Structure 1
Amino acid sequence: MCRSDVRQAVLAKNDDLAAGLRGDLAGQGVSVVNLLSSPGSGKTELLGRVLARAVGRGVPVAALTADLATENDAVRLARSGAPVQQLLTDGLCHLEARQVRARLDGWLPPDTRLLFVENVGNLVCPAAYDLGETLRIVLMAVTEGEDKPLKYPTAFGSAHLVVITKTDLAEPAGFDESAFRTNVHRVNPGVEIVRSCARTGAGVDTLLDRALAARDGIPHRPPLASHPHGHHPASPASLA
């Protein structure tokens, strides 16, 4: 089997596992929100604000956060008052559906209705892997450059919602929001773009409301593209 065939088999296996996980969680009344961004986008701080707001509003929410190493993000997110678990990937640059299912087994509180999954900080590898999510959110800080959607079309093109973070830094960073919005819509026409700032709380309620609204049905999203480069984590046999 050639390398391309192995990669496609890995992705097909993941898709099957993700579909099963989505169905099982939906049967329990749980919706999953998959958060993707590059490192340093501010997604952990923003997610902490969203979790705290959910707790304050009485929404049964939980979070799973992934990193290559350390449990620092889980400690930070737990301050929200929501149940949080850390998933360490041991060097793997993305999450897969099998890892999510394994981490949730025996842990997810039975009354959970909304589960946020903070993916590994990377806009390449995670973009090709369905985690059984109901809503996929891609975040980008104003310091990252307006052309990022064109550089990472798989990630931005598969998003249900795009979030601009650290908007309080837009002016000093010289961020051209109009150009950014144009580039997002070149790869994902019509997708909603939300402005946010963890420091001020701007956008927090909007994100929570969008996550809750997604429980009513899976929003339209273009099919996930094939993994955009030659790296693949494992053979199909290891995923069986």
Structure 2
Amino acid sequence: MGDRSVGDRLKDFEEVDCGLTPQEAIEEAGRCLQCKKPGCVDGCPVNIDIPAFIALIAQGKFLEAAASIRQQNLLPAICGRVCPQETQCEALCILGKKEAPIRIGQLERFAADQERAKGLTIPARKALTGKRVAVIGSGPAGIVAAGELAKCGHSVVMYESLHAPGGVLTYGIPSFRLPKDVVKAEIDLILAMGVDLRLNHLVGRTVSYEELDSFDAIFLGTGAGLPYFMGIPGENLSGVYSANEFLTRVNLMHAERFPEYDTPVARMN
């Protein structure tokens, strides 16, 4: 998979990897042995039928491949970019014993990107159950939980304390690694399934605990929003940032686009 040139990458925060071309994806998928006992599936935390979607890519059926992935994973464009496939599914690829394993993550990303370019299809929902679930936090855990619950026919309200959804996907991972339009498209698909997203809602303050009593179930996906400090001299000085604050300023508050956005980070001369 090709990368953008260093000269171009120095000028912006756009994605570094260019992704596979259709021909490259078909050729890579054609390397798959279609094992009868695929170890790659055992290495996938959500048990995607990896040989199935790779076989569809090899046949040029890109949208069908994306649909196959979404049966088990509602965030394929995100996971294809940031999941540690090299220690999970790809680590158990039989081909990896003698040559390079199948580039499963890049093929997942390719299928998802092809689907997004053509227009995402809203997953089917079961009949409404009448059950209501509150999902607290719109990070990866909250998004997936909300989507799976919606697929089951439950009514879902997702509360987010910040002004944008996504959690670490939005404020923690830089755009050159995970573009924000990719995150937005995946979240928009979840919302299109009927999930009610409420931004700027901090449970316990904006939303009282008593208000949550009306729900049949509550899912807590509050993530890792608070930093841990080392307790060393000078860590509270001006210009010293926790990793959380630095990443939030750059990603969610667009510090990389100062002075267009008035949220700079301190720079050493």
TM-score, normalised by the number of residues in structure 1: 0.27
Which has more radius of gyration? 2
TM-score, normalised by the number of residues in structure 2: 0.25
- Decide which structure has greater strand share: 1
